[in-house]
Amino acid sequence: MEHPKKPVPGRDFDPRRSNLEKDPDDWVSGDDPMTDAQSSYLATLCEQAHEEFEPHLTKAEASKRIDALRAKLGLPDHHRHDTH
């Protein structure tokens, strides 16, 4: 019997199967409060964009807000794994 190969981190990464590509509305934990890291990053982006920080967002809401603020500020899409 042949055993399935285990994925090798870095080499066998498939961004099409990554949670980074999953819509935040589809996240299992999307309704949980945003993480401390999200809160900190969102506060920084809000300050840079001169927009009000909303401290009580869910993980999914925070992710969408981060994406929107990054786009507004002209920052590169952090979900992409393109090499060019």
Per-residue pLDDT tens over the stretch 17-45: 444 567 887 888 888 999 999 999 999 99
For residue 80, tell me if it sits in a domain: no
Q: Note down the domain range covering 59.
A: 30-72
For residue 36, tell me if it sits in a domain: yes
For residue 42, tell me if it sits in a domain: yes
For residue 51, tell me if it sits in a domain: yes
For residue 9, tell me if it sits in a domain: no
Question: Could you tell me the CA-to-CA distances from 67 to 4, 5, 18 in Å, in that order?
Answer: 37, 35, 17
For residue 17, tell me if it sits in a domain: no
Q: Are 62 and 70 in contact (CB under 8 A)?
A: no
| Between 31 and 5, residue with greater pLDDT | 31
- Residue appearing with tokens 């982006």: 45
Would you tell me how many other CB atoms lie within 10 Å of the CB of residue 62? 23
For residue 65, tell me if it sits in a domain: yes
* pLDDT bucket at 60, cuts 50 / 70 / 90: very high
Query: How many domains does the chain divide into?
Result: 1
For residue 37, tell me if it sits in a domain: yes
Give, for 42, the enclosing helix (H) or strand (E): helix 36-49
- Residue 58 phi, psi dihedral angles, 5° rounding: -80, 170
